[in-house]
Structure 1
Amino acid sequence: MYLTVYLLLLAPAVLAAAGPRLARQLAPAAAARMLAATTAVAAVATVWGLLVLAAGGLGRIGEVVAYTRPDPAALAAADPVPRTLGVLAAALLTCGLVRLTRSVWRRRREVRALAALRILPAAGDLIVLADEHADAYALPGRPGRIVITSGMLRALPADERAVLLAHEHAHLAHRHHHYNALGEMACALNPLLRRLRDELGFALERWADEDAAHVVASRPLAARSLARAALAGTGRGPATALAYLRHEVTARVRALRGTRPENRHSAAMLAASLVTMTALALADAASALGRFLEILHP
């Protein structure tokens, strides 16, 4: 258990380093799905690794041993986890869960604050705000809405507005807010996953960019719309919304001016292998924890 747990705790750092590099070798939709799976597995590995260490270390504290009265020989033969390490793991796990709770509470508060937008007059799912700042974003929920300011409408000609609307429709259609929430929660549990969260956000925007380019049947038009919108304003929308001008606009414009990206199967296979190995480590750690708990409760 000892070695497996340490490998499990090392996995998030490895996945955070390898995930973004592998994602850039995949088409945006595949990259987003791969990053979401990687982020979820890394977050679970963080929680489970800390939980196993905490249980292994705290389970050897005198008070716990006196209460559970395990077989001394079996306890001594079990993989040792120092009590100090168990306390540290418990503290880190608690801090992560507190950050997660705060993150969820903050998102819920922001969602409630935006609820008033959904009752504004809308043309289908489109809401136009009288605001000189150029901004546009997808507002998830029931019903989902696309919010665009009058400043953005004036900044873009009709064909480029079609690109923007197709982009935001893609966010709603593919439920990208769920991916976004996953990244935020995983980062709250383990700050080392910040790179995965940011890369996932970028992949979601690229996914919507590619969908928009397909809808208007013109990659140059999609690139021109994004570039003109970026020059018109720097609005990024509310934190919980999926804004048109969020995440590396220059890189996205450059990608749209190139050819449509294709998946490299070697990158997909390597990502799947990393996730699979982490999942196997999770299963082994779970089995070891089960055996340790049986020792504590003979």
Structure 2
Amino acid sequence: MYVTVYLLLLAPGLLAALGPALTRHLAPAAAVRALTALAILASASTAWGLAVLAIGGLARTGEVQAYAKSDPAALAAADPVPRTLGALAAALLVIALVRFTRAAWRRQRDVRALTPLRDLPAAGDLIVLDTENPDAYALPGRAGRIVVTSGMLRALPHDECQVMLAHERAHLRHRHDLYAAATVLAAAFNPLLGRVRESAALQIERWADEDAAAQAGSRHLAARSLARAALATTGRAGGLRGSLAYLRHQVTARVAALQAASPASCWSAAWPALVLVLLTTLALADTTGALGRFLEVLHP
């Protein structure tokens, strides 16, 4: 635990820096999966690094040593983590857990707030709200629903409405809410992952855009549908908290992407992130082994 535990705390910052760069080399579906995996690995690295430092530092306090009956000299040699550093790590871990718990509670609250909408009469998976405000969003979950307002249906021609509905169905089919939740919770645990969360949110919408364009057989039609829907809302991002909205993320960038060629993944360009993932995994394994040896010294 001399060096690798500190590498665990350095890794999230490096992963957070490399993660968004992956989106330039990967198709949206691959990018979302990669960013989610990086976010989970980075938050796990943060949690384990702080926990190990807290154990190593606090184990050297008089109260713990009196209970464990360990040899202070052997303990210091096994893991020279200062008590103050252990206390700081413990405090940071508690703060991170509180942030994580609050984020998870807010997500559950938002999901519960959508329950009345799920109970409205639906035509298959489609719920139409009689309001002039143009909006469309997906209600994720086991029984997913698509909510669209009559104002949005009137704002788009039939073929563009079909693209919009295909976009929302892609959210439900691929369970994009789970990817979004994972990156949101990871960023709550470690704020350094904020850029990863935002990049994942955009790529989730890009994934649904690409699915809709493929089903429509026309990238131009998909771009036109998205642009017209955005104009109909005068730039206001729609959707309720906890839903996946058609116009929630960077519409201009998404329209531009749909006007370009269909994206493809180039995994060879992602080797820096892959190397860092491997090193972080090895550091996790080494730190876990070192912690086991330390606990043997702590409680012989």
Quick one: which amino acid aligns to residue 267 of structure 1?
Answer: A
Counterpart for residue 4 of structure 1: 4
- Which residue in 2 is equivalent to 1:280? 282
**Match status 1:266 vs 2:268:** yes
For 1:61 and 1:236, how far apart are their aligned partners in 2? Answer: 54
The letter of the residue matching 2:14 is: V
CA distance in 2: counterparts of 1:4 and 1:200, whole angstroms: 28
Q: Percent identity among equivalent residues?
A: 66
Scaled by the length of structure 2, the TM-score of the pair is: 0.97
Query: For residues 105 and 79 of structure 1, what CA distance do their matches in structure 2 show?
Result: 37
Aligned residue identity for 1:7: L
- The superposition leaves residues 77-133 of structure 1 with CA deviations (integer Å, 9 ceiling, x where unpaired) of 113111111111111110111111111111111111111111101111000112222
Structure 2 distance, partners of 1:10, 1:239, is: 33
- What is the deviation of 1:67? 1.2
Distance 1:21 1:36 in 2: 14
1:24 has 2:24 as partner: yes
- C-alpha contact 2:135 2:238 (8 A) present in aligned 1: yes
C-alpha distance in 2, partners of 1:142/1:264?
33
Aligned to 2:106: 106
Distance 2:232 2:49 in 1: 47
* C-alpha distance in 2 between matches for 1:155 and 1:275: 46
Aligned length: 298
- Name the structure 2 match of 1:115: 115
Aligned CA RMSD, in angstroms, stands at 1.1
How many angstroms apart in 2 are the aligned matches of 1:60 and 1:258? 60
Equivalent residue in structure 1 for 2:242, among 229, 240, 243:
240
> Which residue of the partner structure matches residue 153 of structure 2?
153
Counterpart of 1:132 in 2: which secondary structure?
Answer: coil
Shift of 1:286: 1.0
Answer yes or no: is 1:47 the counterpart of 2:47.
yes
- For structure 1, the residue ranges without an aligned partner over 5 or more in a row are none
Structure 2: state its 5+ residue gaps: none
Q: Give me the whole-angstrom Cα distance separating, in 2, the residues matched to 1:130 and 1:279.
A: 52
Greater shift, 34-43 or 125-134, is seen at: 125-134
Name segments (4+ residues, structure 1) moved above 4 Å: none
Q: Which residue of 2 aligns with 1:65?
A: 65
Distance in 2 (CA, whole Å) between partners of 1:275 and 1:149 is 44
Aligned to 1:211: 211
Alpha-carbon contact 1:136-1:147 (below 8 Å) kept = yes
Give the deviation of 1:247 after TM superposition: 1.4
SS in 1 for 2:148: strand
SS of 1:2's equivalent? coil
The one-letter code sitting in structure 2 at the alignment partner of 1:16 is: A
8 Å CA contact 2:20, 2:196 repeated in 1: yes
1:73 is displaced (CA, Å) by: 3.5
Greater CA deviation, 160-169 or 77-86?
77-86
Structure 2: how far apart are the matches of 1:252 and 1:114? 27
Deviation sequence 1:127-166 (CA, Å, 0-9, x none):
0112222111110113100011111111111110011000
